[in-house]
Structure 1
Amino acid sequence: MTGMNSKEQEIVNAIRNREKSVFESLYKEYYRPLFAVAFRYVRYAPAAEEIVHDVFLMIWKKADQINIQYTIKSYLYKAVVNSSLNFIKKEKNENEKQAAYMKINTTNGLENDETERQEALLTSVENAIDILPPKCREVMYLSRFGKMKQQEIADQMQISVKTVKNHLTYGFHKIREHLENQNPQLWLAAFILFEYLRH
Structure 2
Amino acid sequence: MYKNNIDFIDHLKRGDEKAYVYLVETYHKPLFNYVLSLNADRALAEDIIQTVFLKTWEYRKRLNPNYSLKSFLYTSTYNEFINQYHKHRAFSILEKKYIEALDEVVSEIDNKNLLEQKIALLNRGIDLLPPKCKETFLLSKKEGLTNIEISEYLNVSIKTVEAQLTKAYKVLKNKIGKQLKSMLFLLFGKVNRVKL
Shorter chain as normaliser: what TM range? 0.3 to 0.5
Q: Which has the higher contact order (CA 8 A, sep 6+)?
A: 1
Superposition TM-score, scaled by structure 2 size: 0.48
Q: TM-score, normalised by structure 1?
A: 0.47
